[in-house]
Amino acid sequence: MTQIYLHNTLKQRKDLFIPIDAQNVRMYVCGPTVYDKAHLGNAKTPVVYDVLYRLLCHVYGFNHVTYVSNITDVDDKILNKHKETGKPIREITEQTYNWYIEDMQQLNVLPPNYRPRATEYIDEMIVLIKKLLEQKHAYVVNDHVLFDVDSMPTYGSLSGRSMKEMLAGARIEVADYKKNPADFILWKPSEADQPGWNSPWGYGRPGWHLECSAMSSKLLGNDFDIHGGGNDLIFPHHENEYAQSCGAFPGTRFAHYWVHTGMLMINGVKMSKSLGNFYTVDEILAKYPAEALRLLFLTTHYHQPFNFTFEGLQQAKSILDKFYTALLKNRDVETVECAPSDKIIAALADDLNTPLALSCLHETVNALNKAETFEERQQKKSELMADAYMLGLLYNDPEAWLKGYSDDSEAAEIEALIAKRAEAKKNKDWAAADAIREKLKEQGIVLEDSPTGTSWKKI
């Protein structure tokens, strides 16, 4: 069986991945808080874990992997959006959720086995708080329930920070009723016009960190294999998850492997609304195809900082043009069932080395272009599609991709000119044929003649 290595934040090193149960490999990845349109960072993370999910399914079997990615639909950010817009909270969360799902579908992100919403697991959260109180890891004060970080000697082990560093580097709510400023909220009171649920501590709502612990425990068990998310979540979110889950269930380790994606930057600078370099996914996809954005995310190793540029996005589009051109030239060849190549599996098994995996795709495309016999073309095309699947690429129709037309009428006009050019060539009116080619070229349309006819694409 293929050996997978992953960078484990808990140990600060690349570790051999050994599942708790190879018959049920379990992964939890923090999903979005649904209060606004998804930004580029919200898109990069699920693309990365989608590749990991595909790899795990390939190695252990599709029916032996359980993937959970949650939806946070109760949060102060949602309340703030409600106050700002006047829209009902349910309307905000539903609309935002649907936007997010649409983005994921365009980016060819496979749906997880479970996409739990926090509001569906309030009972589990209340039970989890009771366990923490029983274990003396939490206390009740001023209608709040707080986690007592001093009760957990290992607190800070995930992020590798001292208490002083954690207090200095986090946006911690200051409150004089806390035993330690780092103590975090498990349950807090809600006003009458705010979302809330009845609990032993009054009408209120859960803290953000508690939500993921309750959902992962319910769906994956108290011990599971992989917990993922962006590295901005290591502290305080994942540190707090780790502490409260281990505190509630003594003797467990919660997640055995913590896998984090690097920070997203725009032209070398952290993305921020205040800097005017903040982009939502739908803004990008209005101008560029989603597959180009997906490929761009994969050009950088997931653990490293990712730098988004529009030049890089255009280069990703050009790479896909090359790949789809090879497929279009071999459209007469049907693929056969084919396993992904050893080289691409080896690249992905080595801590998801997607840059190396992409270079493998380039090699296969080159080999397909050079293939001479039908058998060679079929083998290389089949291999290319199997390898591309592992990266979630080449899921579009080659002809539609290369034409990239905005509507059917434009395509019809181009096809009419191509037919007119074919008639001119038949009549040996080379000047007219060349004039049509040049006219189309000026419109950004490139013609490619082959024994099977003339194809075209936009550049």
The pLDDT, as a whole number, for residue 407 is 56
pLDDT in tens, 93-147: 999 999 999 999 999 999 999 999 999 999 999 999 999 999 999 999 999 999 9
For range 311-335, the mean pLDDT: 96
Strand (E) or helix (H) holding 216: helix 208-220
pLDDT tier, 21 (very low <50, low <70, confident <90, very high otherwise): very high
Looking at residue 306, its pLDDT comes to 97
Number of H helices, E strands in the chain: 16, 15
Residues 339-377 have pLDDT tens digits of: 999 999 999 999 999 999 999 999 999 999 999 999 999
Residues 96 and 35: beta-carbon distance below 8 Å: yes
Stretch (H or E) spanning 320: helix 310-329
CATH classification of 306-400, choosing from 2.30.130.10, 3.40.50.620, 1.20.120.640, 1.10.3720.10? 1.20.120.640
List the one residue out of 18, 22, 59 whose CA is nearest residue 340.
59
Whether the CB-CB separation of 42 and 100 falls below 8 Å is answered with: yes
pLDDT band at 174 (very low <50, low <70, confident <90, very high): confident
What pLDDT sits at residue 132?
98
pLDDT tens, position by position, 305-322: 999 999 999 999 999 999
- The per-residue pLDDT for 208 is 92
Q: Residue 48: name the closest of 348, 344, 394 by CA.
A: 348
| Cα–Cα distance, 75 to 98 (Å, whole number) | 18
Percent share of the chain, pLDDT over 70 = 97
What is the chain's percent helix, strand, coil content, to nearest 5? 50, 15, 35
d(CA 43, CA 84): 25
**Which neighbouring-strand residues pair with 447?**
456
Q: What whole-number distance in Å separates Cα of residue 280 and Cα of residue 436?
A: 40
What is the pLDDT, as a whole number, of residue 459?
A: 66
Rounded to whole angstroms, the Cα distance separating 57 from 111 reads 13
- Please report how the helices 290-298 and 310-329 are oriented relative to each other, as an axis angle in degrees rounded to 10: 110
Q: Could you say which architecture CATH assigns to the domain 5-261?
A: 3-Layer(aba) Sandwich (3.40)
How far apart, in whole angstroms, are the C-alpha atoms of residue 283 and residue 316?
17
The answer to whether the CB of 449 falls within 8 A of the CB of 437 is: no
Residue with tokens 């589009």: 317
Strand 269-270's sheet: what is its strand order?
A: 269-270, 264-266, 306-308
- Residue 405 is predicted with a pLDDT of 53
Structure tokens given for 252? 């467990």
CA angle, 24 then 261 then 15, to 5°: 55
CA atoms within a 13 Å half-sphere pointing along the CA-CB vector of 17: 33
- Between CA 195 and CA 81 the distance in angstroms is 13
Distance CA 333, CA 411 (A): 25
To the nearest 10 degrees (0 to 180), the angle between helices 76-85 and 89-106 is: 110
pLDDT at 403: 86
Do domains 5-261 and 306-400 share one topology? The answer is: no
Give the model's pLDDT for residue 415: 80
Domain regions of the chain by residue span: 5-261, 306-400, 405-458
Average the pLDDT over 239-247 and give the result.
Answer: 97
Pairing mode, strands 306-308 and 223-230: unpaired
